[in-house]
Amino acid sequence: MNRAKGDRAVKNENMIFPRGTVLRIQRMSVEDGPGIRSTVFFKGCPLRCAWCHNPESISNTPEIHWEGHKCIGCLECVNACPDHALSSTDNGIAIDRSKCKGCLTCTEICPSTALEAYGGTMTASGIIREIDKDRVYYEKSGGGVTLSGGEPTLQPAFARALLKELKEHGLHTALDTCGQCQWETLESLMPYTDLVLFDVKAIAPEQHKDYTGVTSTLILENLLKLSEFMESTGMPGSLWIRTPVIPDHTANPVNIRAIGTFIREKLIDRVERWDLCAFNKLCTHKYEGLGIEWGCRDLDLVAEDEMERLAGVARKVLEKPDMVFTSGQLEKPRLSLITGGKG
């Protein structure tokens, strides 16, 4: 087969069996929509949120990472790397990412899974086969499948094919999006989406840029268009807003009040609930494995009473208290030593 014919054949195959770059499928998820769900994490994200909990989802290609506690020091990987991107140092195996071409030879040769890749290519049908294993849980709990990431709208053809196939399998579908995409992309996914989980981190454009690397302009435009689209077509059936609550960033009453005011004034009849999702540090090892310095590593968790205060602000501004929910790991109040009596 000549090169042009070969390329055409691959393109046709991708149209028949759409493929995408997926980080992982998380089963038994209870925080990405109603009921028990499977969440499909796409790779690739247009934002660079300072607090990102999934740094391994930002790049749109598979990435290798090294876990020292699994390494037996055989140096098979160093010898096998065709691009001399690996070396043995006092701190273990060092990865020179400027040399790494992502061939994954090292992950295949490593006997102890100390070197592994984040992400890989999957077809929509392959994902459905995985997801079908938990169908009974979705049916019993009113759950389904959520596309998250990363950002699913960065792989629109694949996201559309997967959502369509999920609907054909009779499953409830949710799309978790940061909203930073062309409106036409979002619109094209709606016929197959039951619920949109739309992230709103801040309203002020420059503040949003400080936190995420992009302004809020396109995101809020898309949110308003989505609301109008819901009104005229009934698609998606439900819209939830999600706000990450991050100390020193989004976790302040002014920001929460601004988002709440936007929801109340422009979206109130369309939004079903607003989730305030607390910062967590469970991702610290991922930053270490990827060799990335994480600026939020020393932040404290949100204190329980602070979260209650912010939820109180949200409830007050919406004037519909039942719409506001909180989730995530919180810092418990420290018990103070009570002294008293004689002595």
Does residue 94 belong to the site contacting ligand SF4 (CB under 6 A)?
Answer: no
Stretch that binds ligand SF4, among 38-46, 95-103, 225-233, 324-332 (CB under 6 A): 95-103
Residues 6+ apart with CB under 8 A from 153: 159, 177, 181, 185, 186, 189
> Is the Cβ of residue 74 or residue 204 nearer to ligand SF4 in the bound state?
74
Q: Are 153 and 177 in contact (CB under 8 A)?
A: yes
* Cα angle 151-155-161, degrees, rounded to a multiple of 5: 115
Interface stretch with ligand SF4, choices 99-107, 152-160, 180-188, 330-338 (CB under 6 A): 99-107
CB of 63 to ligand SF4, least distance (A): 9
For the segment 104-143, give every residue that binds ligand SF4 (CB under 6 A): 104-106, 110-112, 114-115
Output the six-digit token pair for 55.
Answer: 């740094």
203 near 233, Cβ under 8 Å? no
Does 35 bind ligand SF4 (CB under 6 A)? Our answer is no
Q: What gap in Å lies between CA 214 and CA 117, rounded to an integer?
A: 28
Give the interface size with ligand SF4 as a residue count (CB under 6 A).
Answer: 27
Answer for which of 85, 174, 197, 318 binds ligand SF4 (CB under 6 A) is: 85
Q: Should residue 330 be labelled a site residue for ligand SF4 when binding is judged by CB under 6 A?
A: no
Tell me if 100 contacts ligand SF4 by CB under 6 A.
Answer: yes
Give the CB-side neighbour count of residue 331, counting CA atoms within 13 A. Answer: 15
Nearest to 196 by CA among 174, 179, 218: 174
| Distance, CA of 47 to CA of 153 (rounded, Å) | 12
Report the residue number, 61 or 217, with the smaller CB distance to ligand SF4: 61
> Is the Cβ–Cβ distance between 57 and 115 less than 8 Å?
no
Comparing CB distances to ligand SF4, the nearer of 110 and 186 is 110
- Positions touching ligand SF4 (CB under 6 A) are 64, 66, 71-77, 81, 83, 85-86, 93, 95, 100-106, 110-112, 114-115
